[in-house]
């Protein structure tokens, strides 16, 4: 608890400024005005310092809730993980660890604050990997809808049913294998039973349009593995 020193009438150097301010309390943990300043400095280091105070409070609340959840579920990030991340970031930027700390300090972020920022990021990633991703479930209806929306990925071209020649034998053929002249005719949306005539090997051949259907779907489990 932060307590301001008492101010007595006539006291020399009386304190007239509040040192800090509680802006919210989350599960018994206060969010201080200084927390928001530190968070703003962190976001500045990430190139995003223009958030309003309300947005900063919301982000800080989310971080505290995430930390509380992690504590309850025994999820943690130790110093070795943070050290490894710092080393990796430094190498990616072509500098030593100390040079990295100097760089973030120049942006208003202390070594401790930077490491806490990394701890929060790593914790969030670990929670997602442990609790959210394994819980994702794609039911059959969603999977079928996905395939229908992306037919080119699964070779799901339309299948055309037509009757061909004097015998009017019923055949089903994929769209891509149709004669271009027949494709153009069907693209005009003929009604079932409509008839056209094309030359096949120089011989006029009657084509009767029966209908169009969607292609057969591949095994759902096979596609589910690809989506996951």
Strand boundaries in 36-133, DSSP class E: none
The token pair at 179 is 């004669």
Classified as helix, coil or strand, 54 is: helix
Q: How far apart are CA 160 and CA 151, in angstroms?
A: 16
How far apart CA 15 and CA 4 sit, in angstroms, is 8
The pLDDT value recorded for residue 2 is 34
Largest CA distance in the chain: 115
Per-residue pLDDT tens digits of the chain, which is 228 residues long? 333 333 333 333 443 344 566 766 766 677 777 777 777 766 665 555 566 667 767 777 777 777 777 777 788 889 999 999 899 888 888 889 999 899 888 877 788 888 888 888 888 777 766 655 555 455 566 666 656 655 555 555 667 777 887 888 887 877 777 788 888 887 777 888 888 888 777 778 888 888 776 666 666 665 555 544
CATH architecture type of domain 22-135:
Orthogonal Bundle (1.10)
Q: What is the pLDDT at residue 50?
A: 62
Tell which residue, 76, 40, 78, 45, has the closest CA to residue 60. 40
DSSP 186: H
CA 159 vs. chain centroid, Å, equals: 35
Instruction: State if pTM tops 0.75.
Output: no
pLDDT at residue 47, rounded to an integer: 57
Structure tokens at 63: 């971080």
Domain ranges of the chain: 22-135, 140-224
């Amino acid at each position: 608890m932060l307590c301001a020193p008492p101010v007595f009438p006539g006291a020399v150097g009386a304190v007239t400024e509040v040192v800090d301010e509680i802006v919210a309390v989350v599960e018994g943990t206060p969010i201080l005005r200084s927390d928001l300043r530190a968070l703003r400095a962190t976001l500045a280091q990430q190139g995003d310092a223009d958030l309003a105070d309300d947005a900063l409070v919301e982000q800080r609340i989310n971080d505290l809730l995430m930390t509380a959840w992690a504590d309850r579920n025994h999820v943690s990030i130790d110093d070795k993980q943070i050290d490894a991340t710092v080393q990796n970031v430094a190498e990616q930027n072509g500098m030593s660890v100390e040079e990295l700390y100097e760089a973030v300090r120049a942006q208003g972020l202390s070594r401790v604050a930077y490491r806490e920022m990394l701890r929060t990021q790593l914790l969030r990633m670990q929670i997602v990997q442990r609790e959210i991703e394994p819980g994702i479930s794609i039911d059959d209806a969603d999977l079928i809808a996905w395939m229908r929306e992306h037919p080119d990925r699964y070779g799901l071209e339309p299948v055309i049913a037509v009757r061909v020649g004097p015998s009017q034998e019923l055949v089903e053929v994929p769209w891509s294998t149709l004669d271009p002249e027949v494709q153009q005719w069907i693209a005009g949306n003929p009604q079932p039973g409509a008839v056209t005539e094309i030359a096949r090997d120089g011989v006029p051949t009657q084509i009767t349009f029966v209908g169009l259907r969607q292609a057969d779907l591949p095994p759902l489990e096979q596609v589910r593995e690809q989506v996951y």
